[in-house]
Amino acid sequence: MAHFSSFADGAPWFVGWGTLALINAGLAQGKNRSGLLWFLLSLLFGPLATLVLVLLPKERAKLF
């Protein structure tokens, strides 16, 4: 049972990291970028992916 208590101690990290990934996916879609790609990148790199995404310019819509 001890392994369950150690998981519960780290649960806020999982919730926070997942919430950040969802926010980054929405931010990416607002900049005409792939939400799924940025969601996955955010799961791996977290706040660093957020910083990169905020600094990137909005991608122009393609004509064709």
**What pLDDT sits at residue 59?**
85
Residues of the chain falling short of pLDDT 50:
none
pLDDT of residue 6: 61
Six token digits for residue 52: 């990169």
| Predicted pLDDT at 48 | 96
Q: What predicted TM-score, i.e. pTM, was given to this entire model?
A: 0.78
Long-range contacts of 38-45 (CB under 8 A, 24+ apart): 43/17, 43/18
* Domain extents in the chain: 10-55
Q: Please spell the DSSP secondary structure of the chain, one letter per residue.
A: -HHHHHHHHHHHHHHHHHHHHHHHHHHHHHTTS-HHHHHHHHHHHTHHHHHHHHHSPPPPPP--
Amino acid, single-letter form, for residue 6? S
